[in-house]
Amino acid sequence: MSARYAAVAVEKTTTAFDALFTYEIPAGLTITAGMRVIVPFGRTDKHRVGVVFSVSDEKPSGRIKSIYAAADDGIVISPEMLSLAEFMRERTFCTYYDAVRTMLPPGLALYISEKHSFNVSRARLAAADGELSDDEKSLVEALSGCSGDAAAEELLKLPGNAAAKKTLTEKGILMLHESVRRKVGDAVEKTVTPVDELPEDIKLSPKQKLVLDTLAEVGAASLKELSYLSGAAESVIKRLADKNALVISDTEIYRSDCAGAEATEKLSDIRFSPLQQKTYDRLLELMNTDEPKCALLHGITGSGKTSVFIKLIEYCVNMGKTAILLIPEISLTPQTVNKFRGLFGGNVAIIHSSLSLGMRADEYKRIRSGEARIVIGTRSAIFAPLENIGIVVIDEEGEHTYKSESSPRYHARDIAKQRCFRHNALLLLASATPSFDSYYNALNGRYSLFEMNERYSDAVLPDVKMIDMRVEAEKGNRSNFSGELIEQLSLNLERGEQSMLLLNRRGFHTYVNCVNCGTVAECPNCGIPLTYHKVNNSLICHYCGFRRSMPEACEKCGSKFIYSSGTGTQRIEEEIKQLFPSARVLRMDADTTMSKYSYEKRFAEFANNEYDIMVGTQMIAKGLNFENVTLVGVLLIDKSLYAGDYLGFERTFSLITQVVGRSGRGSKKGRAYLQTFSPDHYVLELAAKQDYKGFYAQESQVREALIFPPYCDICMTAFSSPEEKAVDIASKKFRELLEEQTKKFGREMPVIILGPTSSGRLNGSFRAKLIVKCRNTKAFRDMLRLVIMSAYKLPEFKKVSFYPDFNGEII
């Protein structure tokens, strides 16, 4: 039998030397595409985890290493996902392995565990024969004095011991033992099943007989269940297993909130308005073409878009197909999941980062086995291992959270398009505030456009009033609340109605400085002001997580006059409690929602009217439905208008439109108050009117004149290094390389190069960015890859990390 060869993506490679590496498949080892394997890699043949992309009979030239072992854990990456990985590598400049790693839940990741054993006898003989160098002797003595295996492993990890460790291993004094492990194992429970025949000579006590009678009645049960049902201790049941009177075995169970759930609501109870029915019928026509289609559903807040999703997903499931629903925020998951679980029971699976590693791994297995055919989750849920997909819905599709800010820097919408193309499925993009790109594509015929411009069940949009905070200041009001908003909050408390206040900033004060010398307390890693958190009297960096206690005196001049300024959610919460001592206030931000189920618990309490006022960041702005909320207040919205990013206006419009839409969703009329120092700004005026088309018309003129997306693509190359000078030199050299390449193409590749410019310091590294306005074509990406590979070979880039990113944030 001729030899076979596998093309393998190997972990821990970088863009500079990423490729599919060819390995020979040893005789007797069955290897197929999608399997994970252990391979020798590099000059030292260190074992690493890899993923097989293809298998061939064609022998390549040169010396070929062999696969060491197959990671036979039952996880096989499908051909669709391998193809997607290649797409992601080409589009986002990630490595093959990073693309595949992103598709799997972290709990299923494999890692190679190394452990050394120390042969004391051989070490003594080698020392007696003079075979050890001074460094080897020192390491042997240190190992002999270690208190245990853990201490010895830590000693061997020290960089200074690397050379001696290697030579001692070659001499057989140290022996390396490797094991391949998964980050999270399977959850199992003891299951008891009956035997076909009892042993002839078996003698049973009354309790044992009761156990067997109970088991015969139920057929099979977990050890705990059988103990409970029979009233016998688990030890009694285990003794019966020892007598071969029953069998106890391990059965895998799923750590899932949805597995085995029963539907508690009827899909038939959903009643459409005429507009919903019309929209549903037209979308159904698209879905039944058996061709890949993309549609944009633009519906005002409260128009009933979710009901349309639900019925389309129901249709898919009834047709034997599967469905994915993406939502932008983890905070939206509880309400969405509860709704879908109530309607579809255990057919639903959830994927998002707040689940434990074990739960995410088990949901993945439920999906792959076909037990769950509807997947709900945030960005990573787009990689759910579903077959025969009928529809992918991206709710609030304009949200920036669908774009990954770490490698691979993909957009969930791009991955969804690829999956829908492969499955001939419908991609439904939906939002009250679609992304500029999507609305542009819909107006130009690339997407089918559907619009729902009326609220469901005769509900009306809330009345919106702009409050000029300059006038409040002239009146002597320096607080965070206008007089009118305070009156409205008081009115809601009297009526027993609920209110929501949006402030997109955590903490109590946003910065702390010395009154005497003006020194601002900054993060030592990032060089930005620390935020004061009153709850734990700490200063915290919201970028790298650095924290320190609140200083009693200025570290520069010694003055005790420390001043804190700015406003965060903690301060707003405290001021509300001072204004309304009897009000029940719920604060929702990243600090109060760290624990598991915190979103679900707190939102459920608010829905049950256990709180009067909710104060929160943008997590409370979208997708939530509380029927008793009749007042929304937006505080300090101006800063998001002037964020310095071309997306600032779009995001501000979306944020205001969405949070205003949380008001008046029940039978009561809603109202909203926008506090601003820029009341005449067109973005705020149009957001108050919920006039997306008017906003699009004005903003598109600005973007076209300044050449911003969708009239171009933006490629930002980011540079970072602990050395400021190195970043400056490398970024400028990168521009030179880029200009050299683009000149070769001339007018065939029009580009506008801006920068490089400094981006300050973050996590201890100085940063810079180079922006290119271009068209994200394959020709441009191929040219950019040439520039990147050339840069890796130059000395200017040795101390600098850099990566390209298309259409992401450019601040």
State pLDDT tens for residues 359-369. 888 899 999 99
pLDDT digits (tens, 9 = 90+) for 705-732: 999 999 999 999 999 999 999 999 999 9
- Find the range with the poorest average confidence among 587-596, 658-667, 668-677, 683-692: 587-596
pLDDT of residue 332: 64
Report CA torsion sign: 177, 182, 184, 189: negative
Q: How confident is the model at residue 616 (pLDDT cuts 50, 70, 90)?
A: confident
Strands (E), 365-470: 374-377, 389-395, 426-431, 448-452, 463-468
**pLDDT for position 174:** 87
Q: Higher-confidence residue: 483 or 564?
A: 483
Task: Inform me whether the pLDDT recorded for 410 exceeds 70.
Answer: yes
What's the average model confidence in pLDDT over 509-523? 73
In this structure, are residues 625 and 335 in contact, taking their beta carbons and an 8 Å threshold? yes
> Residue with structure tokens 């201790």?
233
Q: Is 293 exposed, middle or buried (0-12, 13-18, 19+ CB in 10 A)?
A: buried
Question: Quick one: pLDDT at residue 301?
Answer: 83
In this prediction, residue 566 carries a pLDDT of: 56
User: Can you tell me the mean pLDDT for 570-576?
Assistant: 85
Burial class (CB in 10 A: 0-12, 13-18, 19+), 213: exposed
Predicted confidence at residue 76, as pLDDT, reads 86
CB atoms within 10 A of CB 397: 24
How many whole angstroms separate alpha carbon 702 and alpha carbon 684? Answer: 16
CA dist list (Å): 517 to 205, 220, 521, 556: 86, 76, 12, 8
Q: Is the bond preceding residue 408 a cis peptide, omega within 30 degrees?
A: yes
Using DSSP's 3-state secondary structure scheme, residue 801 falls into strand
Q: 180 falls in which pLDDT band (50, 70, 90)?
A: confident
* 617 or 544, greater pLDDT: 617
- CA distance linking residue 571 with residue 568, whole number of Å: 5
d(CA 497, CA 88): 48
Q: Can you count the helices (H) and strands (E) in the chain?
A: 25, 33
Mean pLDDT of the chain: 88
Q: Is the pLDDT of residue 506 over 80?
A: no
778 confidence band (pLDDT: 50, 70, 90): very high
pLDDT value at residue 759: 84
More confident residue, 799 or 642: 799
Peptide bond into 710 cis (omega under 30): yes
At 447 the pLDDT is 96
Tokens (6 digits) for 61: 């030239």
Which residues share a beta bridge with 253? 187
pLDDT tens digits for 415-438?
999 999 999 999 999 999 999 999
CA atoms within a 13 Å half-sphere pointing along the CA-CB vector of 794: 19
**Cα–Cα distance measured from residue 564 to residue 533, given in angstroms and rounded to the nearest whole number:** 11
For residue 203, the one-letter residue type is K
Please check the confidence at residue 2 and state whether its pLDDT lies above 80: no
Tokens encoding 373: 């055919």
CA atoms of 680 and 746, how far apart (whole Å):
44
pLDDT surpasses 70 at 257: yes
pLDDT of amino acid 356: 77
Q: Highest-confidence range of 53-62, 131-140, 312-321, 646-655, by mean pLDDT?
A: 312-321
* Residue-wise pLDDT tens digits, 735-749: 999 999 998 887 778
- Look-up: residue for tokens 């100085």? 766
Whole-number pLDDT of residue 728: 96
Contacts for 549-552 with beta carbons within 8 Å, 24 or more apart? 550/512, 551/512, 551/521
Q: What pLDDT shows up at residue 564?
A: 63
pLDDT in tens, 306-332: 999 999 999 999 999 999 999 988 766
pLDDT grade for 507, boundaries at 50, 70 and 90: very low
What's the pTM? 0.83
Shortest CA distance to 718 belongs to which of 630, 600, 801?
A: 801
User: What's the burial of 689, exposed, middle or buried (CB within 10 Å: 0-12/13-18/19+)?
Assistant: middle
What's the farthest any 2 CA atoms get from each other in the chain?
Answer: 98
| Residue listed under structure tokens 């252990």 | 38
What DSSP line would sit under 557-602, residue for residue? T----EEEES--HHHHHHHHHHH-TT--EEEESTTT--STTHHHHH
Asked whether the predicted pLDDT for residue 458 surpasses 60, the reply is: yes
Q: How far is CA 764 from the centre of its chain?
A: 24
| Alpha-carbon gap, residue 383 to 372, rounded angstroms | 14
Q: Two tokens at 299?
A: 């519906």
CB-CB contact of 807 with 709 (8 Å): yes
What distance in Å separates the CA atoms of residue 57 and residue 6, rounded to the nearest whole number?
A: 9
CA-closest candidate to residue 803, choices 12, 94, 35:
94
Per the CB < 8 A criterion, the answer to whether 316 and 322 are in contact is yes
The pLDDT value given to residue 73: 67
- Per-residue pLDDT band for 61 (boundaries 50, 70, 90) equals confident
The sign one gets for the Cα dihedral 312, 314, 317, 318 is negative
Average pLDDT value for residue range 397-422: 94
Quick one: which of 753, 728, 733 has its CA closest to 743? Answer: 753
Please check the confidence at residue 673 and state whether its pLDDT lies above 70.
Answer: yes
Nearest-angstrom CA–CA distance, 743 and 757: 22
Task: Specify which residues 114 forms β-bridges with.
Answer: 178
176 touches 209 (CB < 8 A): no
3-state secondary structure of 47: strand
Instruction: Please say if the pLDDT value at position 509 is more than 60.
Output: no
777-782 average pLDDT score: 94
Residue 514 has pLDDT above 90, yes or no: no
For residue 259, the model assigns a pLDDT of: 78
pLDDT in tens, 243-252: 999 999 888 7
Share of the chain above pLDDT 70, in %: 95
Q: Tell me: the pLDDT tens digits for 4-18?
A: 999 999 999 998 889
- Predicted local confidence at residue 811, as pLDDT: 58
pLDDT over threshold 70, residue 85: yes
**Residue 596: predicted pLDDT:** 59
* C-alpha–C-alpha distance, residues 656 and 687, integer Å: 6
Q: Residue 263: pLDDT above 50?
A: yes
Whether 292 and 425 have beta carbons less than 8 Å apart is answered as yes
For 601, residues 6+ apart whose C-beta sits below 8 A from its C-beta are none
Strands 65-66 and 21-25: parallel
Query: Residue 734, class by beta-carbon neighbours within 10 Å (0-12 exposed, 13-18 middle, 19+ buried)?
Result: buried
Mean pLDDT for 632-638 is 85
Of 596, 577, 540, nearest in space to 352 by CA = 596
The answer, yes or no, to whether the previous bond of 581 is cis (omega within 30 of 0) is no
At residue 450, the 3 state secondary structure works out as strand
Query: Which residues lie across from 163 on neighbouring strands?
Result: none
